[in-house]
Amino acid sequence: MNIELFEGEDFLIFSDLHAHPHSQNWDRVDHVLEVLEWIKKICVEKKISTIIFLGDFFHIKDKLLSRVVAKVFPKIVELKDAGIKIIMLVGNHDQPKKDSSEENSLILFSESATIVDSPTHLKGKNKLNIFLIPHIENYETLIEAVEEIKPFREDNKINLLLGHFNIISGKLNEFKQEDKGLDPSELSKDWDYVISGHFHAYQKIRNNVWYVGSPLQINFGEIEQNKGVITYQNNQFNFIENTFSPKFIDVNEENFTPELVRNNYCRMYVPSMEKANELREKIEAAEAAGIDVRINIQEGTEIFTRNWDNKRDILTLAKEWVEKSDVDLDKSKLIELGSDIIKIVRSNEA
């Protein structure tokens, strides 16, 4: 285990940025930049000396988009230049190999940040004793790693375990809870505090065992989730909510208002294509960030789903038009050809 001296008395924790132009929408990367700027502002205003990032800075595991790197790299440098110490744990989305965190994309930031790719002990001068564990895919290996660092705890200090790991009973989303990983009862008993990245919902599994969650909503699976960061100052943890990033919301004819959809990503539920066009026009006029359409076909048995971020996704419309048209052509081949063309265009744009 690596051992380093930690001189700070306060810090800010965040995790799971997943920087990427999701659905070919580069505004999504700009939202990440806004979050990083907000984090810098918090640290400067509150005089917080250290940032600890708990993994998954990037989204694609096995490759980096140069345009994404060009956008986010200067923001990390700005944090360093502001006098803020940056510590970054490797998450599963930051490593191309499941069984190794040593090869990771965070190495890009090594001149501005301390990259944690193996269990590390930050030995505090004062009351803090911080232990860091990057993502470990194998559950048995993860449990062993936690057991191996437990002897380094000190009775007269606050022993804090931070990582990017699975905790049993943690909520992945509204419908699924984790059933493998670290036992929250054991964690609660063995550590003063445990805070992890990996799962995107801010949640308390025990009074002292938390997931910090992602600092902004990433997709429609995170509807109604509060997002933010955690600060530690004056021996207290506080959650600071992000109130400015776009949200993902469900919209229908009954709940639509311009205020609801403005600058947010909207998922429409409508009974027909005609209704979809009507509601879509209203949403676009209200300046939504993007639209995802779910159309219940007449029988109500099938749902067409596709992201329409910034009007750029026409595949669902094309399929719907071809299937309902009277063209004297092989419709399946026509749809396949159109899909291939759209994929080529998108690939060139990315």
Looking at residue 350, its pLDDT comes to 47
Pair type for strands 120-124 and 128-133: antiparallel
Residue 96 scores a pLDDT above 50: yes
Residue 243 CA to residue 129 CA, distance in Å, equals: 32
pLDDT for the residue 347 = 55
Say what the pLDDT of residue 101 is: 74
Phi-psi region of 84 (alpha: psi -120 to 50; beta: other; left: phi over 0): beta
Q: What is the structure's pLDDT at 304?
A: 44
Q: Is pLDDT at 25 greater than 60 in this prediction?
A: yes
Identify the H or E element spanning 122. strand 120-124
| 293 three-state secondary structure | strand
pLDDT at 236 over 90: yes
pLDDT of residue 298: 40
- CB contact at 8 A, 51 and 14: yes
Q: What's the one-letter identity of residue 335?
A: I
Q: What is the 3-state secondary structure (H, E, C) of 217-259?
A: CCCHHHCCCCCEEEEEECCEEEEEECCCCCCEEEECCCCCCHH
- Identity of the residue numbered 160: L
Q: Which of 289, 236, 212 has the alpha carbon at shortest distance from 34?
A: 289
**Window from 18-27, 238-247, 289-298 with minimum mean pLDDT:** 289-298
Give the pLDDT confidence score for residue 303 in this predicted structure. Answer: 44
Instruction: Find all residues with CB under 8 Å of 208, minimum gap 6, and list them.
Output: 188, 191, 192, 193, 194
Which helix (DSSP H) or strand (DSSP E) does residue 161 occupy?
A: strand 158-164
CB neighbour list of residue 205: distance below 8 Å, 6 or more residues apart: 167, 169, 170, 184, 211
87 compared with 343, residue with greater pLDDT: 87
What pLDDT does 268 receive? Answer: 87
Residue 158, classified by CB atoms within 10 Å of its CB into exposed (0-12), middle (13-18) or buried (19+), is middle
Q: How far is CA 234 from the centre of its chain?
A: 28
The per-residue pLDDT of the chain, averaged, comes to 87
Has residue 301 got a pLDDT over 70?
no
pTM to 2 decimal places: 0.84
Q: Which of 104-118, 131-145, 163-177 has the lowest mean pLDDT?
A: 163-177
Of all residues in the chain, what percent carry a pLDDT higher than 90?
A: 66
Q: How confident is the model at residue 35 (pLDDT cuts 50, 70, 90)?
A: very high
For residue 11, with 0-12 CB atoms within 10 Å meaning exposed, 13-18 middle and 19 or more buried, which class applies?
Answer: buried
pLDDT at 242 over 80: yes
What is the C-alpha to C-alpha distance for residues 131 and 74, in angstroms, rounded to an integer? 28
> pLDDT band for position 299 (50/70/90)?
very low
Residue 115 has pLDDT above 50, yes or no: yes
- Give residues with Cβ within 8 angstroms of 84, minimum separation 6: 40, 43, 48, 49, 50, 51
SS3 147: helix
Q: Which of 284, 220, 225 has the alpha carbon at shortest distance from 249? A: 220
Contact, 231 vs 248, CB < 8 A? no
Lowest mean pLDDT among 134-138, 251-255, 325-329: 325-329
Share of the chain above pLDDT 70, in %: 87
pLDDT of 349: 46
Report pLDDT digits (tens) over 9-21. Answer: 899 999 999 999 9
- Map out the domains of the chain with their CATH numbers: 2-241 (3.60.21.10), 248-349 (no CATH)
pLDDT > 80? residue 333: no
- pLDDT tens across 162-180, in order? 999 999 999 987 778 999 9
Q: How confident is the model at residue 277 (pLDDT cuts 50, 70, 90)?
A: confident
Q: What pLDDT was estimated at residue 15? A: 98
